Structure 1
Amino acid sequence: MGKNRFTMGLLIIVIGILLILFKMDTFDFLFDFSWPFIFLLISIIFHVLFFMRIFPSGILIPSGILGTYGLLFIFLHFTQWGHLQYLWPVFILGVAIGLFEFYALDRNHEKGVLTAATVLTIIACVFFSFTLLYTVGIYFIAVVLILFGLWMILGRK
């Protein structure tokens, strides 16, 4: 009983010290930097457990989603989240990637999985094109109009 009490007492002391350190914001920088990597870590763990045949193939869908979102969050974290207004279709694309992964690696996949993944990919691409048109499209239209105007002025004799 003495060794058990010592271990429990030591564990309680460590928890108390960690609580004080968290309250003093000691770990804030570490957590602020590393939280997007948690998504990637979970995705990698799911993939490893699938390939070790511990988890069924259905785990590939959330694994693909979490991996995609993890990469997105890492990029956004290092760019101060300013690009989310243009990259939000990645959330739709993440589901499509998870479904594509399931389709590619599951031997008993259903035919509707590929259809759903393709439809989601097309939707994400359409929304990406809308955001691209909104951001740089007006410049493209302006250049085309200027060139067309110049052609109308200079092209006729």
Structure 2
Amino acid sequence: MERNRATIGLLIIAIGIVLILFKLDTFDFVFDFSWPFIFIFVSIVFHVLFFIRIFPTGVLIPGGILGTYGLLFLFLNFTDWHYLQYLWPIFVFGVAVGLFEFYFFNRQNPKDVLTAGIVLTIISIVFMSFSLLYSIGIYFIAGILILFGIWLIFGRR
């Protein structure tokens, strides 16, 4: 009984120290950059549990989604979220990744899941193209105009 009291006492002391450190913002920097690893870790756990045959194939859908989102959030954390305005279609693509994993590892290979994954990938690519064209489109148009002008000056006579 004395040993249990000592263990509980040490646990309460550790919780108190952690609370004080959180209040002093000691863990803020670490947590600001490490929280996407929670998504990646859960994704890895889902994949491992599928491959050791504990969970069914359906667990790969959230596993693929969480893995994709975790990598996206990790990148955005290191770039101060400046690129989210261009990379938001990856949220749609994350669902497609989960569906593709489900399709490729399912024994029945359901065609409707493959079709949904392809459609979501195409939607993601189209929105990503629009997003990039909107942001760098003026440079693209200016480049085409410059090349056309050079061709008019030095091209066939």
**TM-score relative to the length of structure 2:** 0.91
Paired position in structure 2 for 1:13: 13
| In structure 2, C-alpha distance between the alignment counterparts of 1:39 and 1:52, rounded to whole Å | 20
Give the secondary structure class of the aligned counterpart of 2:35.
helix
Within a 5 Å distance, the mapping from 1:61-76 to structure 2 comes to 61-76=61-76
Correspondence for 2:54:
54
Alpha-carbon distance in structure 1 between the residues aligned to 2:139 and 2:103: 40
Among the aligned pairs, what percent are the same residue? 71
- 2:20, 2:132 → 1: CA distance? 48
Q: CA RMSD in A?
A: 1.7
Change (3 A) 1:156 1:8: closer
What is the Cα deviation at residue 154 of structure 1?
5.6
Structure 2 equivalent of residue 103 of structure 1 = 103
**1:3: Cα distance to partner?**
2.1
Aligned-pair distance for 1:109? 3.7
- Counterparts of residues 63-142 of structure 1 (less than 5 Å): 63-142=63-142
Compared with structure 1, are the counterparts of its residues 155 and 3 closer, same or farther at alpha carbon in structure 2 (3 Å cutoff)?
closer
CA distance in 1, matches of 2:140, 2:26: 49
Query: In the TM superposition, what is the alpha-carbon distance from 1:102 to its structure 2 partner?
Result: 0.6
**Structure-1 separation of matches of 2:48 and 2:99:** 18
What number of residue pairs does the alignment pair up?
Answer: 157
Structure 2 unmatched runs, 5+: none
Residue 110 of structure 2 aligns to which amino acid in structure 1?
Answer: E
Q: How big is the shift at 1:135?
A: 1.8
Paired AA for residue 96 in structure 1 = A
Equivalents in 2 of 1:16, 1:146: separation in Å? Answer: 66
Unpaired segments of 5 or more residues in structure 1?
Answer: none
**1: CA distance between counterparts of 2:55 and 2:151?**
64
The aligned counterpart of 2:22 is: 22
Once the 2 structures are TM-superposed, how far is the Cα of residue 10 of structure 1 from its aligned partner?
Answer: 2.0
Residue 77 of structure 1 and its aligned partner are, at CA, apart by 1.0
